[in-house]
């Protein structure tokens, strides 16, 4: 009876909060926006009022018991096992930023506060050794060291410096439009590159924003429909580095990519001579520097060569790939089996479309597959992807250097997008 009454009281309180948020027209102050570091590379802006309103509606109306249990288990407590107030105003904007300086990488969170004394007293109880907090009268900062060797004292000093004077970040970056639950702003060398907002409409996550760059390639690559498709005429340095590192694990070293077009149909797990996931795919890749297929695949067995089509077939860890040298900087790669393509050019500069379920298709070694599918990362991704009906996000030109980003992730009719995203974040330990 006591548990039942507690649940009724909890839901009653949630409905009260939800009602207040829905019918309250008072604009919350966002003084924390003034302290976003100018050298931030990525800034996430969360509309606390809209996000809380949508999340409460999702939790209450959907009656998603799995999510309710996950959220309840994820509520942070102090070392004494108690939940302490932290003085944060959650119905205003929250900013998350990333930056790198002097060989140190930081992640920061800026809050608006209703009581900075409560924040300073209780928030340290939730922080680890690589995090520090600082505050003004109405703004709180949690600064986390992702890479570096700063002491706790030095990290605290850097956090205090960030709140010592307002910055001019929003003089150069467009503020959120008032409709997006979350917006993501990416900058490179102080110049705005992209600004994308995410909103919810029914069973859809909607994406809308802008992209600005001078770095796009204008070479036309071969493009196809089929599988999970992604192409882009621009790649950030961080993604290039991650791709190069991944290819090195199977003995392939390549220069940075300039653009690519890829259709993905799953992967096969092999264990000899080393463990690797080999994709069933068809792709065209243009690099920043000249590449030679004979050099790239020199450690693999050449099965056949066609001088007319300039195509060579290699055995890569028991998988066969047809490779064609298009020009000095561009190559085409296609799996010998497991792909179903229709040649069709795209009008977009960049695009993600098709069924993301292809990302989860695995065959090959049963033991390794079994281990992989039991990991939290795979289970959480699988749980989210299996609820997605379709995905279509495009970037198209509006002028010489400006591009429009629009698209959606559509879930099944009876699914709530925020519920599924939140479950994915919690299950994969990203929250």
Quick one: 137 and 269 in the same domain?
no
Quick one: 374 and 280 in the same domain?
yes
Is 360 within the bounds of a domain? yes
Quick one: 287 and 327 in the same domain?
yes
Asked which of 184, 201, 218 is the last residue of a domain, the reply is 201
Is 428 within the bounds of a domain? no
Total domains in the fold of the chain: 2
Quick one: 76 and 165 in the same domain?
yes
Quick one: 151 and 51 in the same domain?
yes
Is 161 within the bounds of a domain? yes
Cα gap 407→404, rounded to integer Å: 10
Is 303 within the bounds of a domain? yes
Quick one: 378 and 286 in the same domain?
yes
Q: What is the pLDDT along the chain (431 residues), one digit of tens a residue?
A: 333 334 334 444 444 444 444 444 445 678 898 999 988 888 888 887 777 777 777 766 667 777 777 776 666 655 555 567 888 887 788 898 998 888 888 999 999 998 999 999 988 888 888 999 999 999 999 999 988 888 999 999 999 999 999 988 776 555 555 578 888 888 776 666 778 888 888 889 899 988 887 667 777 888 888 889 999 888 777 778 877 887 777 677 888 888 999 999 998 888 877 777 888 999 999 998 998 888 888 888 899 988 888 889 998 888 899 999 999 999 999 998 878 888 877 788 889 998 888 988 888 888 888 888 888 778 888 888 888 988 999 998 887 778 889 999 999 888 888 788 877 777 766 55
Is 430 within the bounds of a domain? no
Asked which of 201, 219, 239 is the last residue of a domain, the reply is 201
Quick one: 32 and 180 in the same domain?
yes
- Which domain does 277 fall in, by range? 230-412
Is 209 within the bounds of a domain? no
pLDDT at 90: 76
User: pTM of the predicted model, to two decimals?
Assistant: 0.75
Quick one: 78 and 197 in the same domain?
yes
Quick one: 191 and 121 in the same domain?
yes
Quick one: 169 and 86 in the same domain?
yes
Quick one: 277 and 318 in the same domain?
yes
Quick one: 268 and 179 in the same domain?
no
Is 361 within the bounds of a domain? yes
Asked which of 161, 183, 201 is the last residue of a domain, the reply is 201
Is 421 within the bounds of a domain? no
């Amino acid at each position: 009876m006591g548990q039942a009454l507690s649940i009724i009281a909890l839901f009653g309180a949630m409905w009260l909060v939800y009602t207040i948020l829905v019918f309250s027209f008072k604009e919350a102050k966002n003084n924390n926006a003034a302290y976003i570091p100018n050298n931030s590379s990525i800034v996430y802006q969360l509309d606390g009022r809209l996000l809380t309103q949508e999340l409460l509606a999702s939790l209450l109306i959907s009656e998603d018991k799995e999510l309710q249990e996950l959220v309840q288990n994820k509520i942070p407590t102090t070392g004494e096992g108690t939940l302490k107030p932290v003085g944060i105003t959650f119905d205003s904007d929250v900013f998350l930023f990333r930056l790198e300086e002097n060989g140190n990488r930081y992640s920061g969170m800026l809050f608006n506060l209703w009581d900075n004394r409560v924040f300073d007293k209780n928030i340290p109880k939730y922080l680890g050794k690589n995090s520090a907090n600082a505050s003004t009268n109405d703004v709180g900062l949690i600064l986390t060291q992702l890479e570096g060797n700063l002491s706790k004292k030095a990290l605290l000093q850097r956090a205090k410096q960030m709140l010592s004077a307002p910055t001019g970040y929003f003089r150069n970056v467009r503020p959120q439009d008032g409709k997006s639950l979350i917006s993501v702003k990416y900058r490179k060398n102080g110049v705005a590159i992209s600004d994308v907002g995410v909103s919810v409409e029914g069973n859809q996550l909607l994406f809308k924003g802008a992209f600005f760059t001078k770095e796009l390639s204008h070479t036309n690559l071969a493009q196809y429909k089929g599988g999970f498709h992604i192409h882009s005429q621009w790649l950030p340095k961080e993604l290039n580095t991650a791709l190069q590192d991944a290819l090195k694990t199977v003995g392939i070293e390549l220069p940075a990519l300039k653009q690519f077009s890829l259709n993905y149909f799953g992967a096969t797990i092999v264990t000899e001579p080393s463990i690797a996931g080999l994709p069933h795919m068809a792709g065209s890749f243009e690099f920043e520097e000249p590449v030679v297929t004979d050099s790239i695949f020199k450690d693999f067995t050449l099965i056949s060569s066609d001088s007319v089509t300039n195509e060579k077939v290699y055995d890569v860890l028991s998988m066969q790939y047809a490779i064609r040298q298009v020009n000095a900087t561009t190559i085409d790669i296609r799996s010998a089996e497991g792909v179903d393509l229709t040649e069709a050019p795209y009008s977009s500069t960049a695009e993600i479309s098709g069924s993301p379920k292809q990302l989860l298709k695995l065959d090959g070694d049963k033991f390794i597959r079994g281990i992989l599918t039991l990991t939290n990362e795979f289970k959480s991704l699988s749980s989210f992807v299996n609820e997605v009906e379709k995905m279509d996000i495009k970037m198209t030109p509006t002028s010489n250097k400006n591009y429009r980003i629009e698209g959606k992730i559509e879930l099944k009719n009876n699914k709530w997008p925020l519920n599924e995203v939140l479950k994915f974040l919690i299950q994969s330990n990203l929250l």
